[in-house]
Each structure stands twice: as structure tokens, then as C-alpha cells.
Amino acid sequence: MASYKNLSSFWEWGKKIICVGRNYAEHAKELKNAVPTDPVLFLKPPSAYVKEGAAVLMPYYTNNLHHEVELGVVIGKRGREIPQSFAMEYVAGYALCLDMTARDMQDECKQKGLPWTLAKAFDTSCPVSDFIPKEKIQDPHNLKIWLKVNGQLRQEGSTSSMIFSIPFLISYISKIITLEEGDLILTGTPKGVASVQENDEMVAGIDEIISMKFKVQKQS
């Protein structure tokens, strides 16, 4: 397992962000998507990371930027074809994350059968909290995550509602993509996603664990 010192800044050197879409049934339904029978995966590049103190930048090509609050899983060692029974041994810790989504662009990409890169992978599309060591979270499948915009509660849900568990996701993903130290897995978002505008303030948290705050700015 990697050292705490290294993992405490995983966003500076981690190679990839692997995102799981539609992992909460109510979120899938609110966007009129079918509840998946297998995980829906997409990627974000490391340049998507943004830390508290910097702004989330709204891409010039979107008029409908959405927030999606998620639990992130930080991988602590390299693995491929990891059995579910050993999957949690590859978890070094966690992070609170936002999967910022240009929803209008995502809808357009879906209609045209195109990848979601413009909708999901732009710079600052993955705000992250500080690293949360594994031992600080007894049960990652029993956490309350939430997000407020300008003080108004938008999203609130429990990780107990995830369709696919963390061990299942690690095992599934590692059969397709080798997981490496510092990689981040975003585990999906509960219902309540909605748009944000320039100068909006987003505050998100995991009850009794961590919170973070970001402002939205237009891309210059």
C-alpha cells in the first residue's frame, strides 16, 4: 500500500479517474435512463481535478452545467482481475467528489451516439476534497452524502442505495482497466442533480466526515 504522504495528494499524480454512471436507481430514473444491469463506465483525465480554493469553470459550450455529488474511492496499489473478496485490500481511502456534467452536451452526444468527453471530461469537472484515510470510514456503504447550492439542499442520499457495491466495482473495472496507485473511482450520484450558474456556491459533504465548497465561474 502506498504511503499516506503520497496518497494525501493523489490528485496531483494519479493517472486516471474512472466514473460509474447510473449507480443509484432514483438518479437513473430522474434522467429517464434505464436502471443498468452492468456498470456504466466513463473516464475523466487528471486535468479534471480541482481543489477547494479554486473555481469550477463552466465550459464555453454549455448552458446547462449540472452538479453530481459522489463518494470517491482512492486506489492504493496496482491490481488487475481483482476478486471481489480481496477488493477492499486495494482501497487506500476515500474522497468526496463532484462529477460536473455539461448536461446539454451529454444529451446531444447521446442523440448522436458520440462519446461523453465534452460533457464529462473538461478541466475542473472533478472537484475533490482532501484525502480521507480508509480507517476514518468504517462502512463506505452507509454514508450520507449531500450537496447544497447557495444554501439550498439539492442532493441528499445514502451510499447504501448504490446498485453496485465498491468491491463489485473494483473487481469489474479491474477486469477491463488495470487499477493503479492513486487512481480514483467515482461511485455514482443520488437523485437531485440540477444546474448551476455563474457565481453559484456549491457546498457538499459526507455527514460527520468532511465537507468542501466551490464557486462556479464561466470559462474565460
Q: Looking at residue 220, what is its pLDDT? A: 77
Count of beta carbons in the 10 Å neighbourhood of residue 217: 15
The residues with which 185 forms a beta bridge, in sequence order, are: 18, 73
CATH class of the domain comprising 4-55+62-71+79-177 = alpha beta
Q: Check if the beta carbon of residue 211 is closer than 8 Å to that of residue 205.
A: yes
Tally the C-alpha atoms within 13 A of residue 66's C-alpha that lie toward its C-beta: 22
Q: Looking at residue 29, what is its pLDDT? A: 86
Q: Looking at residue 30, what is its pLDDT? A: 85
Q: Looking at residue 73, what is its pLDDT? A: 98
Widest pairwise Cα distance in the chain: 47
Task: Please report the beta strands in the chain, taking only residues with DSSP state E, as ranges in sequence order.
Answer: 17-21, 40-44, 49-51, 56-58, 65-66, 69-75, 91-98, 101-102, 126-128, 132-133, 144-149, 152-158, 184-186, 195-196, 201-206, 210-218
- The region, left, alpha or beta by phi > 0 then psi within -120 to 50, assigned to residue 76 is alpha
Q: Looking at residue 1, what is its pLDDT? A: 55
> How far is C-alpha 134 from the geometric centre of its chain's CA atoms?
17
All structural domains of the chain with their residue ranges: 4-55+62-71+79-177
91-98 and 132-133 as β-strands: parallel, antiparallel, unpaired? Answer: antiparallel
Q: Check if the beta carbon of residue 128 is closer than 8 Å to that of residue 51.
A: yes
Q: Looking at residue 5, what is its pLDDT? A: 54
Q: Which amino acid is at 173?
A: I
Cβ neighbours of residue 139 under 8 Å, at least 6 residues apart? Answer: none
pTM of the model: 0.95
Q: Looking at residue 31, what is its pLDDT? A: 83
Residues of the chain with pLDDT under 70: 1-5
Count of beta carbons in the 10 Å neighbourhood of residue 204: 24
